[in-house]
Structure 1
Amino acid sequence: MTDPIAVTRAAYDRIAEEYARQWSTPPAWMNAELERLTGLLPAGARIADIGCGPGWHTQALRERGFAVTGFDLSHPMLTAAGVPGLVRADMRALPVAAGALDAVWCVAALLHVPRPEVPVVLREFGRALRPGGELLLAVAEGDGEGWDERAYGPSHRRWYVLHRYEALAGLLDEAGFEVVDHARESTHRDWLRVHARRR
């Protein structure tokens, strides 16, 4: 059986440089979320940018005074923009000590994890966060999951899992999080943004 995560990683390996150029400027709503997180955390707070890709958000958070490590499964993505201090890792098993983080930033990355494995990832986020730590998630909103090849063609297909708020909030609750708020945005996709806090 084809592993959706492995195939998606291989696609990102091949499109890394193009992707880094295309998304060097985050959409306005992502910048607004970066600013909002800045207001919730003290200077020097420890943040993991999970599914960081070329590290644009990692860099933006560092510029705001935080201690940030970016994690991604694709090595070519990690090197595509020359951002230092990025680490190759699987979000299902982060190389982070329990309770070591003040915040997790995971934007447009959890959406590649097959639905049965989403609870594993959320529990891992909870393990890595201190009590009261912040989680910012952005996922594609909708129903179902499957291959998407529209952006880069059939040889670069990626697995997408769409989420609805009520179901995702339930999974977060089971993983030890309290949802603080959520919002929706539309660009080339419909986005669901969820801010949660580790109990």
Structure 2
Amino acid sequence: MELNMRAGHQGTGPGAVTPDGCAVELYSRLPVGAEPDIVAAAVPVGARILELGCGVGRMTHPLLERGFSVTAVDESQEMLDRVRGARTILSSIEELDLGEAFDVVMLASFLVHAGDVEVRRALLRTCVRHLAPDGCVLIQREGEEWHTNLPRERVDPSGFTVRIVSAESTGDGANSVYAEYEFPDATWTQTFLSRPLTKDQFEAALAEVGLKVDEYLTQDRTWVRAGQAV
């Protein structure tokens, strides 16, 4: 079956690749880090979570272990096939309309930095559409100056290397980012479009859809809790 890649996105390496250039096998290998603890500390115990762009369930599974109810959404069936224990929905985030409200809607993986402004607006509108009146949206942002001082690399304690090789301007405010993931037995690459957002630009993007920042959850402001603006 021919894969319809999103414009400006591609990926290489062993196994299936999703429309945004993510390799399923690669993401099955990547560690989750501190993100589940950040989420758990920011939301009510046992909350119903709508996870947008769940991938292989790297965050889904730890959240389930912490007692949350998770509805996991992804546009890749190959990704969803790796998710265990959660309700799964095959859909693009932009088109999702479950007719349900959740305590928490989670938009991680830097999705808020979508290169296409209209896609970003659609992602955030989906968050609002599924948000309970007293619920919250958890958003993961890129770090400050994430697109500068390149190339850079990080060697993970588990033995693989991540390189952000380049971020070339597309001329409209977005960048084409090229990343490499090198393991002892395989290498994957991903090219994707990302739009840098300052703190003010990010907050303005939320305001466009009726959201406002409640709290920056981490010192580097990469994790944010937002709610409906009054």
What's the TM-score, normalizing by structure 1?
0.78
| 1:87 to 1:7, Cα distance in 2 relative to 1, 3 A | farther
Amino acid at match of 1:19: Y
Deviation per CA, 1:49-107: give whole Å up to 9, x if none. Answer: 11111012112222222221111122222224556532221111213215x11111121
**Aligned with residue 35 of structure 1, among 28, 37, 40:** 40
1:165 equivalenced with 2:165 (yes/no): no
User: Is 2:12 aligned against 1:19?
Assistant: no
CA contact (8 A) 2:70 2:86 kept: no
Q: Distance in 2 between matches of 1:58 and 1:96?
A: 19
How many residue pairs end up in the alignment?
185
SS of the equivalent of 2:92 reads coil
Q: In 1, Cα distance between the equivalents of 2:76 and 2:9?
A: 10
SS at 1:166 equivalent? helix
1:181 to 1:197, Cα distance in 2 relative to 1, 3 A: same
Q: Which residue of 2 aligns with 1:56?
A: 58
2:123 maps to amino acid: V
User: Secondary structure of the equivalent of 1:181?
Assistant: strand
Determine the C-alpha separation between the residues in 2 that align with 1:148 and 1:6.
9
- Cα distance change on mapping 1:140 and 1:56 into 2, 3 Å: same
Larger relative contact order, structure 1 or 2 (CA cutoff 8 Å, min sep 6) = 1
| Pairs within 5 Å for 1:63-142 | 63-80=65-82, 82=84, 84-98=86-100, 100-111=101-112, 113-117=114-118, 118-141=120-143, 142=145
The equivalent position to 1:177 in structure 2, one of 208, 211, 216, is 211
Pick closer, same or farther for the CA change 1:106–1:167 going to 2, 3 Å: same
CA distance in 2, matches of 1:138, 1:111: 8
User: Residue 165 of structure 1 contacts residue 192 of structure 1 at CA under 8 Å; is this kept in 2?
Assistant: no
Counterpart selection for 1:4 from 3, 7, 15: 7
Conserved in 1, the CA contact under 8 Å of 2:9 and 2:193?
A: no
Tell me, yes or no, if the aligned pair for 1:130 and 1:198 is still in contact at 8 Å: no
Larger radius of gyration: 2
Equivalent residues of 1:54, 1:83 under 8 A apart: no
| Paired AA for residue 41 in structure 1 | P
Cross-structure match for 2:160: none
CA RMSD in angstroms, aligned pairs only = 2.8
Gaps of 5+ in 1: none
Match of 2:176 among 142, 147, 162: 147
Offset from partner CA, 1:119-162 (integer Å, 9 cap, x none): 22212211110112111100214464232222257964223232
